[in-house]
A and B are shown apart, each in its own frame.
Chain A
Amino acid sequence: MSDLAQGAAVTHHDEHESTGIESRKLGMWVFLSSEFLFFGALISNYLLYSHRGGFEGVYPAAIYDIPFTSVSSFVLLMSSLTMVLAHNALSRSDQNGARTWLFATAALGSVFLGGQVFEFTEFIVQHDMTLSTNPAASAFYLLTGFHGTHVAIGVIMLLSLWGISRRQGGLSDRQGLNLELVGLYWHFVDIIWIVIFTVVYLLSVAPA
């Protein structure tokens, strides 16, 4: 039995629970649901300190580069499109298409990360806003850095799947479920950024 066929056979034995949903998939949904608590805490922390005056140094809201961040947001949003196209291609047994869209998603994620590194560098070098400048700066770096770490983990998982697909000439059913799980994670990272972009970048104001 080939690896791909064996993977498909295994899938039928260990992936279904009494809920009718693959247990790993349900686990991913529960994990993502719990992630709201982490990101909610960090966003609240930012809102708590972003407008609180009386501290030395520059505040993040005073130096945001909205056009640049808008482009970054667009890139991450489009990576959700390429991710869902990868999943769609695999569901049609289009292994080449799935591999191409997987790589495109990883590339767009890397562009977003590069943008974040550039933004952080600008803030530190040009505006002297470091992690310890004031509580608002700390909250900003903690929130966006935590999100960026999630994106980096997502890129690693995407490239791993892409590498497996290249080596084996395609993804088995079981690996197809992995792609779906990585896709869920990736879209979650995107929806968190949708909130961060609006609440942290577009709506926050520095103290007068």
Chain B
Amino acid sequence: MSTAHPTPGQYWKIAAFLAFVTAVEVAMYYIDRELGLGVLNAAVLLSLSAVKFLVVIGWFMHVRFERPIISRFFAAGFILAGSLYLVVLSALGVVAIRGG
């Protein structure tokens, strides 16, 4: 562990942030239903999801405070799987997402 872990108070703040981002995601879903934002909606929702994903990994799973080998292992699995399935879905022409 290279640096000190967050305090309980900081964990609560991180959780509040995650809850807020989730609320924004749900709001975006309904805004898109009314306004038909299309690709913009998909981009915003995927970005918000990525933020939540990284915050949980970084702070709750403590990757920010661990040795680099751990983040490398984890990132390798994610990038390998993500790349593989992105190529497969692209090859099959899947753009089933709202606005895609």
Main secondary structure of the interface of A (DSSP, over half): helix
> In the complex, which residues of chain A have a beta carbon less than 8 angstroms from the beta carbon of B57?
187, 191
Could you say which residues of chain B place their CB within 8 Å of the CB of A21? Answer: 66-67, 69-70
Are the CB atoms of A29 and B11 closer together than 8 Å? no
Residue of B nearest to A202 (CB): B29
Complex formed: what's the CA distance from A132 to B7 in Å? 48
B60 engages A204 (CB within 8 Å): no
Q: Known contacts A26-B70, A204-B98; decide if A184 and B61 are in contact (CB<8 Å).
A: yes
Q: Which parts of A26-48 form the interface with B (CB within 8 Å)?
A: 26, 29-30, 32-37, 39-41, 43-44, 47-48
Complex Cα–Cα for A202 and B57 (A): 22
Q: How far is the CA of A40 from the CA of B88 in the complex (A)?
A: 11
Bound form: Cα–Cα A88–B92 in Å: 46
The stretch of A76-84, A118-126, A145-153, A154-162 that contacts the partner chain: A76-84
Question: Looking at chain B's contact residues, is the secondary structure mostly helix, strand, loop, or mixed?
Answer: helix
A21-B69, A36-B81, A191-B56 given as contacts; is B11 within 8 A of A84 (CB)?
yes
List the A side residues contacting B29 at CB < 8 Å. 66, 202
**Inter-chain contact B98/A32, CB cutoff 8 Å:** no
Chain A, interface size category, equals: 35 or more
Looking at the complex, which one of B26, B53, B76, B85 makes contact with A194 (CB distance below 8 Å)?
B53
Report whether B8 and A88 are in contact in the complex, using a CB–CB cutoff of 8 Å. yes
Complex contact B53–A34 (CB within 8 A): no
Q: Which residues of A contact B (CB under 8 A)?
A: 19-21, 26, 29-30, 32-37, 39-41, 43-44, 47-48, 50-51, 66-67, 70, 73-74, 77-78, 80-81, 83-85, 88, 91, 183-184, 187-188, 190-191, 194-195, 197-199, 202-205
